[in-house]
């Protein structure tokens, strides 16, 4: 195995490091690092050749089971030495960006550098082959598949005529455009029609959905071109207007929907339809909304309201889930041989029979699908009726570039804790405040000039026109050409006075300010970074929750303000921040490992 080269601190490496660090923790179900008894977390000291598989999250459970079965297979028996296979969770888009960067895999544990790569779609292997080298991705070969669908709470799908009436993307866009929203089909109480989609730069589902939108706009069933994508811009722009927010994975949105459903709101105030893979919908309906690795003895509780799969009338793209041995210089001859054996094994009948138990369809359409693929779990094994083919690489690049222009505009207020504890070191030569500043600065290039961004800092002993405890670095307004100026203003935080933590008062002031200016056509959000508990607010947590949660009842607000807290360091009050996120339909991000703050910041900003 080659020694690590000096890694450059590029945005691709940062993004990958964030995903790998977060994903490896997720694969253990929150277990301790260094354990080797669960999927995706280290290897046992067994004397075997160790094979790491970089894979998208929804396949981790399945690949764990396939790895166990591989041990007893003829393919394994044919190896000169035994082999142990473990999956590690890395999003397809982030793996693509890292592999094209030419750097080593971003983890110090070289045993986790992948021999095999299994993204959700050959879209990603094609992009690496085109942008880097065909030899790097070897010979990708699909071994399972799952269609991209729209998951809808069953009562909402019924209101549109499901399952008897076909539903198209055009039908969903019409609901987006109609000022009456759900009222146009007699369901005024449900309010506006809301869609959840993922960021196509990191997510296969997000990428497939924007391509399906272009197919729908052109009326084509094959042969999509870059010109077709460009001509579909207005159609896609309207569709994006219904998006509540973006994100790295559908699991985050499904977890929020699941929590709201279990708490009695049926999720109608949060989202109406989620673009996702059929396998993710099956996981959700079993009570595993984030598709995490199910631990021995763990009991899953199905949601009170299941999602049903709407297979668009105009057709679906499929995630064809290839697996390939990487041509990276860190892959040894022994690992290559074992990786090729495992890649052959997953094509066998024995392996293909395992797939349906994990919500994936075998390549052999005549193979039995089992009990999951039924109406009980919201799916129709006879669908989709129309398959939309994967376009050429240049068409896919055009679609991603177009999305950056037509995506829903955002209005984001970053609220940064500058209390005294932010001076504490985080172990890499920086203070917590240094990490927060650099994290915020590194995300500025994500925003377009028309996106609105503001930055407030909070601690005791300061004041501004916005209230006590608040210092305004930048009012919320269109970024324009102010990126460098804002970068410099963030640097000024290093010299600010740092006292107490009026967390709840500051969030309330920020929420009230953003609510007054929120617009239906934007993603209106507050990103809160705090490293401790509230110590100086006159507002209690319960009072804050009551005030910021008033728009989350059924039907919701046309311009909700969602809060995305970052729990920074081990002292952050995660339980309070979780409540604040949930009541506004936002999401809590964990930066308890303070060294990862700039990486977590990037993941948060992917929502906008």
pLDDT tens-place string over residues 331-343: 999 999 999 999 9
**Cα 274 to Cα 271: distance, rounded to the nearest angstrom:** 7
- What's the burial of 289, exposed, middle or buried (CB within 10 Å: 0-12/13-18/19+)? buried
* 251 touches 291 (CB < 8 A): yes
Note the pLDDT of residue 435: 84
Note the pLDDT of residue 527: 92
Note the pLDDT of residue 353: 93
Q: Which band of pLDDT confidence, cut at 50, 70 and 90, is reported for residue 459?
A: very high
Going through 392-445 in order, the beta strands assigned E by DSSP cover 410-417
pLDDT tens-place string over residues 376-417: 999 999 999 999 999 998 999 999 999 989 998 999 999 999
Note the pLDDT of residue 586: 86
Note the pLDDT of residue 443: 81
Q: Is the pLDDT of residue 531 over 60?
A: yes
Q: Is the pLDDT of residue 39 over 70?
A: no
pLDDT tens-place string over residues 280-292: 999 999 999 988 8
pLDDT tens-place string over residues 548-603: 986 554 445 677 899 999 888 887 888 999 889 988 888 888 887 776 776 787 77
| Helices 122-131 and 393-406, axial angle in degrees (round to 10) | 100
**Percent with pLDDT over 90 in the chain:** 52
Higher pLDDT pick, 250 / 366 = 250
Give the rounded distance of the alpha carbon of 488 from its chain centre.
30
| Helices 574-584 and 250-262, axial angle in degrees (round to 10) | 90
**Cα 369 to Cα 562: distance, rounded to the nearest angstrom:** 40
Q: What does DSSP say about strands 452-464 and 141-142: parallel, antiparallel, or unpaired? A: unpaired
Note the pLDDT of residue 557: 62
Higher pLDDT pick, 478 / 25 = 478
Note the pLDDT of residue 20: 37
DSSP class of 356: G
Token look-up 């999927």 returns: 39
Give the rounded distance of the alpha carbon of 502 from its chain centre.
31
Mean pLDDT score of the chain, rounded to an integer?
86
Note the pLDDT of residue 265: 58
Q: Is the pLDDT of residue 7 over 50?
A: no
Note the pLDDT of residue 571: 79
pTM of the complete model: 0.82
pLDDT tens-place string over residues 120-153: 999 999 989 998 999 999 999 999 999 999 999 9
ω into 384 cis (within 30 of 0): yes
CA angle (567 as vertex; 566, 568 as ends), nearest 5: 100
- Residue 29 region by backbone torsions, left for phi larger than 0, else alpha for psi between -120 and 50, else beta: left
**Cα 321 to Cα 343: distance, rounded to the nearest angstrom:** 12
Domains of the chain: 49-144+321-366 (3.40.190.10), 146-319+376-402 (3.40.190.10), 408-606 (3.40.50.410)
* 317 touches 123 (CB < 8 A): no
The two structure tokens encoding residue 52: 């790491």
Higher pLDDT pick, 260 / 275 = 275
Q: Which band of pLDDT confidence, cut at 50, 70 and 90, is reported for residue 41?
A: low
Taking residues 26-54, what's their average pLDDT?
A: 60
* 401 touches 510 (CB < 8 A): no
Q: Which band of pLDDT confidence, cut at 50, 70 and 90, is reported for residue 223?
A: very high
Residues facing 149 on adjacent strands: 276
Q: Is the pLDDT of residue 456 over 60?
A: yes
- Residue 479 region by backbone torsions, left for phi larger than 0, else alpha for psi between -120 and 50, else beta: alpha
**Cα 585 to Cα 2: distance, rounded to the nearest angstrom:** 45
Note the pLDDT of residue 343: 97
Q: Which band of pLDDT confidence, cut at 50, 70 and 90, is reported for residue 50?
A: very high
Q: What does DSSP say about strands 146-153 and 83-89: parallel, antiparallel, or unpaired? A: unpaired
Q: Is the pLDDT of residue 193 over 60?
A: yes
DSSP class of 261: H
For every residue of 448-498, DSSP letters joined together read: -TTSEEEEEEEEEEEEETTEEEEEEEEEEEE-TT-HHHHHHHHHGGGGS--
């Amino acid at each position: 195995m080659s020694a690590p080269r000096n890694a450059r601190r590029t945005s691709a490496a940062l993004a990958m490091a964030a995903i790998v660090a977060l994903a490896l923790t997720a694969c253990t179900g929150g277990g301790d690092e260094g354990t080797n008894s669960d999927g995706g977390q280290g290897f046992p000291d067994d004397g075997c050749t160790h094979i790491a598989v970089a894979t998208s999250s929804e396949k981790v459970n399945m690949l764990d089971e396939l790895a166990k079965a591989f041990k007893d297979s003829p393919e394994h028996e044919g190896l000169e030495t035994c082999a142990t296979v473990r999956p590690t969770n890395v999003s397809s888009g982030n793996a693509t960006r890292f592999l094209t960067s030419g750097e080593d895999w971003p983890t110090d544990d070289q045993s986790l550098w992948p021999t095999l790569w299994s993204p959700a779609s050959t879209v990603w292997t094609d992009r690496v082959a085109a942008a880097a080298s065909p030899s790097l991705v070897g010979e990708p070969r699909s071994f399972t598949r799952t269609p991209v669908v729209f998951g809808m709470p069953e009562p909402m799908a019924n209101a549109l005529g499901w399952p008897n009436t076909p539903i198209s993307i055009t039908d969903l866009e019409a609901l987006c455009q109609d000022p009456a929203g759900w009222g146009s089909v007699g369901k005024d109480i449900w309010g506006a029609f809301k869609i959840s989609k993922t960021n196509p730069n990191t997510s296969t589902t997000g990428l497939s959905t924007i391509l399906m939108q272009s197919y729908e706009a052109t009326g084509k069933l094959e042969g999509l071109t870059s010109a077709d994508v460009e001509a579909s811009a207005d159609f896609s722009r309207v569709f994006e207007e219904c998006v509540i927010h973006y994100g790295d994975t559908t699991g985050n949105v499904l977890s929020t929907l699941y929590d709201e459903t279990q708490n009695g709101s049926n999720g109608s105030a949060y989202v109406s339809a989620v673009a996702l893979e059929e396998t993710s919908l099956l996981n959700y309906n079993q009570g595993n909304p984030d598709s995490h690795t199910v631990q021995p003895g763990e009991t899953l509780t199905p949601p009170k309201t299941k999602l049903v799969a709407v297979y668009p009338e105009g057709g679906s793209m499929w995630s064809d889930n290839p697996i390939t041995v990487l041509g990276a210089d860190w892959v040894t001859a022994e690992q290559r041989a074992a990786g090729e054996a495992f890649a052959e094994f997953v094509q066998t009948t024995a392996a293909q029979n395992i797939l349906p138990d994990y919500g994936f369809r075998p390549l052999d359409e005549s193979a039995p699908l089992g009990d999951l693929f039924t109406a009980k779990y919201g799916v129709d094994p006879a669908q989709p009726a129309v398959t939309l083919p994967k376009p050429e690489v240049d068409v896919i690049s055009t679609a991603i570039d177009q999305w950056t222009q037509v995506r829903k505009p955002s209005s984001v207020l970053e609220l940064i804790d500058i209390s005294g504890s932010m001076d504490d070191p985080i172990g890499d030569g920086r203070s917590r405040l240094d990490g927060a500043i650099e994290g915020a600065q590194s995300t500025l290039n994500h925003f377009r000039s028309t996106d609105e961004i503001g930055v407030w800092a909070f601690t005791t002993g300061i004041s501004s026109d916005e209230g006590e405890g608040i210092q305004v670095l930048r009012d919320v307004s269109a970024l324009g050409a102010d990126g460098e100026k804002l970068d410099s203003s963030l640097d000024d935080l290093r010299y600010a006075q740092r006292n107490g933590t009026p967390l709840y008062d500051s969030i309330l002031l920020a929420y009230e300010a953003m609510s007054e200016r929120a617009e239906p056509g934007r993603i209106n959000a507050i990103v809160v970074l705090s490293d401790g508990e509230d110590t100086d607010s006159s507002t209690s947590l319960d009072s804050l929750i009551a005030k910021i949660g008033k728009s989350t009842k059924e039907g919701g607000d046309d311009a909700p303000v969602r809060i995305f807290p970052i729990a920074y360091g081990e002292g952050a009050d995660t339980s309070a921040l979780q409540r604040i996120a949930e009541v506004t339909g936002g999401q809590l991000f964990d930066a308890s490992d303070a060294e990862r703050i700039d990486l977590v910041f990037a993941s948060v900003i992917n929502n906008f």
